Structure 1
Amino acid sequence: MEMSLTRINELTIIFYAICVLLYFIDFLDHNRKAKNVAFWLLSIVWLLQTIFLFKHMYDTGRFPVLNVFEGLYFYTWVLVTLSLVLNKFLHTEFIVFFTNVIGFIMMTLHTFAPSQYVSAAVSSQLVSELLFIHITIAILSYGAFSLSFVFSILYLIQHNLLKKKKWGKRLLRLEDLSKLDYMSYVLNVIGVPMLLLSLILGSIWAYIKLGMFFWYDAKVLGSFLVMVAYSFYLYIRLVKGIRGKTVILINIASFLVLLINLFLFGSLSRFHFWNP
C-alpha cells in the first residue's frame, strides 16, 4: 500500500508537469486545445492529490499539516483547488497557469523535502485542535496571497503590453488593469484577517501548550513581518488611495517577504516543529 501511494505521488507529479507545460504552450501561442487538455490533467492531479491526502489522513488519524511534508502538500492542494474554482467561475486568462507554476514548485519541494521523515513521536506531541486550526488557516491565507501575487504578475504583463502598444492576442486575453488590480486587492483583504487570526491562535496555543512564547524566534518574527508587509499594502491602497503599478509592486514585494519567511526563517526557527 505504501508503494502504491508512492506511485500515485509520482504519477501526480508527471501529470502536473505536463499540465503546466500545456498551459505554458497556451500562454505563448493561444492554443485552446492545449488549454483544454491541461484543464483535464489538472482535474486528474486534483483527484490524485485528494486521494493521497485522505489516505494520509486515514493512516495518521489527524489533519495532515504538522510538518513540511504535510504542509506543502496541503498548500499545493489548496492552490490546485482554488485554480479550478477560478477557472470555472471567473474565466480569467492565465490565472490557472501562473497559480499552478507556484503549485508545481511547492509539489516538487514537498516530494524531495528531507523533513518528510519527521518522527511520529514528535508529531504526536503536537496534536492539538488549536494547532490544526492555526496551521490550516495560515496555509489558506498563503493560498490567497499566492493568487493575489499571480494577479499582480498578470497586471505587470498587461501594463507592459499596453505601454509598448503590443495589440496582440495576448493583450486581448488578459483582463483589464483595473480588474486585475481589484482581484489582487480582494484576495489580500481575505488573506490578511486570516493570517492575523492564525497568528493569534498560534500565540494562544504556544502559551497553553508550552507555557511560554518565543517572540524572538526567526519564524515568529518572520510571520509578523509578513503581516506588517500586507497591512502596509492595505494602508497604501485604502488610506492613501494609491492605485496602479506602485501598489502592485508593493504587493509583489510582500509576497517575496512571505517566501523568505516560508523557507529561510522557517529553517532558522528553533521553536516551530512545523515548517513552513
Structure 2
Amino acid sequence: MGDLYITRLHEGTIVIYAVSVLLYFIDFLNRNRMANKVAFWLLAFVWGFQTIFLLYYMFDTGRFPVLTLFEGLYFYAWVLVTLSLAINKLLKVDFIVFFTNILGFMIMAIHTFAPVQYDSNVMSDQLVSELLLIHITMAILSYGAFSISFVFSLLYLIQYDLLKRKKWGKLLWRISDLSRLDYWSYILNVVGVPMLILSLILGLQWAWIKVPDLAWYDAKLLGSFIVLAIYSIYLYLKAGKGMHGKSLSLLNIASFLIVLINFFLSGKLSSFHFWYQ
C-alpha cells in the first residue's frame, strides 16, 4: 500500500509539472506575468515533493540515491527543477526556464512510468496502462483545443467576407469582432501546442517500453510531428512575426485539416496505434 501511495503522489506531481510547463509556455509566447508567477509556484510545489521523495529514498536506502539508473534520473530531474527555480528567481531568463522544464518533465516522466524500477509485474503493467491513458487524454485535449481554434478561424473568415461585401445583416452582428476571433483562435493554439508536446513525450515513453521494435517512420508518429511543426509555425508567425488576419486564419484552418488526416487516416496506417483502428 505504501509503494502504491508513493506512486500516486509521483503521478500527481507529473500532472502539476505539466500544468507548470503549460503556463511557462504561455508566458514564453505572450510575456504573461501572471502565468509566469503561477507556473513558478507550481514548480516550487513540484520541487517540494521531489525533495521530500529524495529524502525518503535516502532514509529508505541508507545512502544517497544515485547508484542506479532510475535513482540517477530522479536526482537529475530534481537538479533541473532546482536550477529552474533559481534561474527564474535570480536571473529572470525565461527562455532557459521554459526549455529546461521541458527537459525536466521528460526526465520525470521516464522515471515515474518506466516499469523496470518496480518489483511487482501487476504494478508495472498498471503504470504502463496509465501512461498510455494520460498520453491519449492529453492528445485528445490538444486536438479539442485545435478544433475550437479552427471554429474561431472559420468564423473569422465568414465575418471578414461579410465586412468586405458590406453585408450589414443580423449575421454580422451575431458574430464577434475580427480581433476577438483572431485572439481566441491564437490562445487555443497556445494551449493545444504544449499539451501535444507533452502527449508526444509520454507517447514516446510508452512506445519505448511496449514497442521496442518501433518503426520511427510510422505514419501516426510522423503525422503527429507534422501537426506539431505546422502549429509551431503558426505560433511563430503570430507571436514572433506579428502576423494576423485572413492569411493566418487560412493557415490555422489548413493546420486543422492536417489534424483530421492524422487522427483518422494515419491511425489506419499505424503499426502500433491499434486503438484507433
Normalising by structure 1, we get a TM-score of 0.53
Alignment of 1:26-105 (within 5 A): none
What residue is the counterpart of 1:207 in the other structure? Answer: 208
Alpha-carbon distance in structure 2 between the residues aligned to 1:212 and 1:147: 36
Offset, 1:273: 1.2
Alpha-carbon distance in structure 2 between the residues aligned to 1:212 and 1:233: 33
8 Å contact from structure 2 (residues 159, 175) kept in 1: yes
Alpha-carbon distance in structure 1 between the residues aligned to 2:153 and 2:186: 9
What residue is the counterpart of 1:130 in the other structure? Answer: 131
What residue is the counterpart of 1:139 in the other structure? Answer: 140
Alpha-carbon distance in structure 1 between the residues aligned to 2:221 and 2:202: 13
**Considering only CA atoms, is the larger Rg found in Structure 1 or Structure 2?**
2
Q: Identity of paired residues, percent?
A: 68
Tell me the SS of whatever aligns to 2:276: coil
RMSD, aligned α-carbons: 1.8
Matched, 1:184 2:179: no
Query: Structure 1 residues 126 and 256 mapped into 2: Cα distance closer, same or farther (>3 Å)?
Result: farther
Matched, 1:245 2:246: yes
What residue is the counterpart of 2:273 in the other structure? Answer: 272
Alpha-carbon distance in structure 1 between the residues aligned to 2:215 and 2:197: 17
Offset, 1:266: 1.1
Alpha-carbon distance in structure 2 between the residues aligned to 1:212 and 1:193: 27
What residue is the counterpart of 1:231 in the other structure? Answer: 232
Structure 1, unmatched stretches of 5+, are 1-123
8 Å contact from structure 1 (residues 217, 269) kept in 2: yes
Tell me the SS of whatever aligns to 1:230: helix
Alignment of 1:92-171 (within 5 A): 128-171=129-172
Query: Structure 1 residues 125 and 214 mapped into 2: Cα distance closer, same or farther (>3 Å)?
Result: farther
What residue is the counterpart of 2:176 in the other structure? Answer: 175
What residue is the counterpart of 2:255 in the other structure? Answer: 254
Query: Structure 1 residues 126 and 260 mapped into 2: Cα distance closer, same or farther (>3 Å)?
Result: farther
8 Å contact from structure 1 (residues 214, 220) kept in 2: no
Q: After superposition, what is the alpha-carbon deviation per residue over 1:190-226, rounded to whole angstroms, capped at 9, x for unaligned?
A: 0000001000100011112223432100011001110
8 Å contact from structure 1 (residues 145, 188) kept in 2: yes
AA in 1 matched with 2:184: M
AA in 2 matched with 1:214: A
Structure 2, unmatched stretches of 5+, are 1-124
AA in 2 matched with 1:231: S
AA in 1 matched with 2:158: I
Offset, 1:126: 10
What residue is the counterpart of 1:219 in the other structure? Answer: 220
AA in 1 matched with 2:230: A
Offset, 1:125: 10
Offset, 1:171: 0.5
Offset, 1:234: 0.4
